Chains A and B, each alone.
Chain A
Amino acid sequence: DGGITQSPKYLFRKEGQNVTLSCEQNLNHDAMYWYRQDPGQGLRLIYYSQIVNDFQKGDIAEGYSVSREKKESFPLTVTSAQKNPTAFYLCASNAGYTDTQYFGPGTRLTVL
């Protein structure tokens, strides 16, 4: 999982702002995922992408957007439409021929 990086580690957002979280992997993995983690809860799927230029909504996609222009990169934008964005955001990837997902170190987003 050292091949998956996320930046920044901490991010502060003002009300009404859009912010973009970065996720990069050098594992040559086909599939990438974004999860949101709130205290005392499991991980909830926001978006996932199985191939370049294609992505699917997860359970809590409202207020978020993604792109997959390169195999290595899957950025997540938290828009002003997301009313409660304060959370820990985790990116993951897997090779496609296996189910095992490996996680990045996460970005903690706080709304001021």
Chain B
Amino acid sequence: GENVEQHPSTLSVQEGDSAVIKCTYSDSASNYFPWYKQELGKRPQLIIDIRSNVGEKKDQRIAVTLNKTAKHFSLHITETQPEDSAVYFCAASWGHDMRFGAGTRLTVKP
């Protein structure tokens, strides 16, 4: 089955700096890659996603890149703000089979 690895597990940046979180997956059949943001005690919220026929997608300060050959995808957050502090999860899916990374705790210091 699919296995998703996520790095780093914790990330601390200064406000205004960029943050990058990386994930790798094992199943070449995976074709959908969402990123979720989860604040403490809350539900995961979808922040951006990408499909296997696209190499990059951007939404304001957030971007995701996908390298299908290498089976890795990354989340990029620019101009970070304190409210970006949360746990971020990547996921890879094929049909109804969605597998999640272990999460990255991002802390943005003011």
Contact = CB atoms under 8 A, between A and B. Distances in A.
Contacts of A45: 98
Main secondary structure of the interface of B (DSSP, over half): strand
Interface residues of B, number: 24
**How many residues of A sit at the interface, in one of the four size bands?**
20 to 34
Contact of A48 (B9, B41, B89, B96): B96
Interface string B79-97: 0000000000100010110
B4 A104 contact: no
B102 A42 contact: yes
A1 B37 CA distance: 13
B32 A42 contact: no
B32 A99 contact: yes
A40 B103 contact: yes
B67 to A, nearest CB: 19
Given A41-B102, A41-B103, A42-B101, A102 B89 contact: no
Given A41-B103, A43-B100, A105 B42 contact: yes
A43 B90 CA distance: 10
A53 interface: no
Interface stretch (B43-51, B57-65, B68-76): B43-51
Contacts of A105: 42-43
B96 A40 contact: no
A90 interface: yes
Contacts of A101: 34, 46, 98
Contacts of B34: 99-101
Give me the 5 closest cross-chain CB pairs, A-B, nearest first: A42-B100, A99-B32, A103-B43, A43-B100, A42-B102
Interface of B: 1, 4, 6, 9, 32, 34, 36, 41-46, 49, 89, 93, 95-96, 98-103
Interface of A: 1, 31, 33, 40-45, 48, 50, 59, 90, 99-106, 108
Given A42-B89, A59-B1, 6 more contacts: A33-B96, A41-B102, A42-B102, A43-B44, A43-B89, A108-B41
